[in-house]
Structure formats: C-alpha cells, structure tokens
Amino acid sequence: MKLFLTSSAAGFVTINGISVLREFARANGFLNLLKKQLISPVKCIVMASDPQRYAANDAFASSLGDGFLIDGFQLERVEVCDSRNSKTIVDRIDEYNVVFLAGGHVPTQNLFFKSIDLKSRLKNYDGVVIGRSAGSMNCADIVYAQPELVGEAIDPNYERYLDGLGLINFSIIPHFEFIKDEMLDGLDIVKDICLPDSKIRPFYALINNSFIYSENGCSTLFGEAYFFKDGGFDLICWEEKSIDL
C-alpha cells in the first residue's frame, strides 16, 4: 500500500456548501509524488465520511474525477461507497487502484468504516490510499477524534479516542493553521483541548499544504507540521522540507 495522509489533498473551494476539488496540491511535492506512485488509468473508490449525504458524496466524487483529469491522469472511473451500495461495492475494493478516504466528521466516518469492516478489507490492499482530513485521522490505530462540533468539547460522554484502520501507529489532526486561533464551547482549542490531550497520547498537527507519505512501514512528513506531546508542542518540519518519522 502507498498511503498519502493529507490535511487537504488539493485546491478545494466550497460551492453551495459542498467542497469541490479544482486540482491536486503542488506544495511540498505532493502531485509529483502522487504521479510517481499512481499508475493510470485511475479507478478510484471514494469512501464517504457521512454515508447518508448522497448529494454531497456524488458531487465530491465528480469533482475528484475532474481533478484527476485536470492534472493529467487518465481516468476510468470514480465511484462512491456510502449507504446506498456499501454492502456490495466494498467487496470489490481490489478492483480500484485508488481508495480516497473523504473528509468530514471523524466519529461519523469511523462508525461507517467499522460497519463495512474497512479495516480488514484494506489489510492486504496493494493500491494507493489517499486520506483527506477526517479520512487521514481515521487511518490511525488509535484515532484522536479532537472535538469539532458544538457541544463535543464539554460532553463527558464524547469519545476522543477511537479504534481506527490501523494503517499508521500515530495520530494526526489537520488544518492546524485554522484551529490554532479558534474557540469551541468556550474553550481555546489549542490551549484547553490539544495541549491537555497531548499528555494522554501524542499526535502530529498538519497544515493544509503538508502531508505524510507511508509505505512498507516507513513514513515521511512533508511540509510544515507540529508535534504535540506531554502538554507542549514544537514545530518539527517546514515548508518544502521533509523528515522521516
């Protein structure tokens, strides 16, 4: 498996509340590495974040197909796996050379992945897996589901640690350049949520242009990123630089 863990894999814009892809990210060599590892024609399956959001899932798959074409890939098909077809299409996952794990609400996607036993189906998968945001987070063995929606940060029953796909043995959070200045439920996300949680389990924080590439148990981080551990955090990599994890 060739695994790309991204905060945002591409240049997305929001149209009528739906995230639409324009082209894949160029920063930090993402597109060049993707072209090196992905053999055309592209046969892609999009694993939804919310299996009930049919219109949004279809729109995302369509725009993802456009993105492949814009960046010069030969495209055979892009199909969605959600609650309309998950019982049948997931059985054919080896027919696709790209599995795209969509972004969205981490716990919602985590439950969907468990319902279709995606973890076991990816165990011997030999293609390219691209995670975006929540999709990347759910790749961890233990997922850090940082509170995101109103009420989650103060809900004593909200589960911040979930069993994930087990494709990596570390946790990540995306979009750090945005969340570092945000509040949730009256709490500072970094000071009052991220830092205390890093005492329980460390994690990497990625900005939108950074990503992690993993293959054969070896992972490399590209671009600006931070490491949270023991109640503190440090900048560990810079734009257009890379480090082995």
Find the Cα–Cα–Cα–Cα dihedral 200, 172, 54, 31, rounded to 10°: 180
Which long-range contacts (C-beta less than 8 Å, at least 24 apart) are formed by 119-122?
119/164, 119/165, 119/166, 121/90, 121/93, 122/1, 122/93, 122/165, 122/167
What residue spans define the domains of the chain?
2-174+211-222
User: Could you tell me which of 106, 5, 99, 116 has the C-alpha nearest to residue 61?
Assistant: 99
Residue at token pair 């319902």: 115
Q: What's the predicted TM-score (pTM) here?
A: 0.91
pLDDT tens, N- to C-terminus, the chain (245 residues): 999 999 886 665 555 666 566 678 788 999 999 999 998 899 999 999 999 999 989 988 888 888 888 888 999 999 999 999 988 898 899 999 999 999 899 999 999 999 999 999 999 999 999 999 999 999 999 999 999 999 999 999 999 999 999 999 999 999 999 998 899 999 999 999 999 999 999 999 999 889 999 998 899 999 999 999 999 999 999 999 999 99
CA atoms within 13 A on the CB side of 64: 29
Single-letter code of the amino acid located at 175? H
How many CB atoms lie under 10 A from the CB of residue 120?
10
Name the CATH code of domain 2-174+211-222 (choices 3.60.20.30, 3.30.465.10, 3.40.50.1100, 3.40.50.880).
3.40.50.880
**124 Cβ contact list (under 8 Å, min separation 6):** none
User: From CA 148, how far away is CA 223, in angstroms rounded?
Assistant: 24
List residues bridging with 2 in a β-sheet.
128, 215
Query: In this predicted model, what pLDDT tens digit does every residue of 135-163 receive, in sequence order?
Result: 999 999 999 999 999 999 999 999 999 99
Let me know if 34 is exposed, middle or buried by CB neighbors in 10 A (0-12, 13-18, 19+): buried
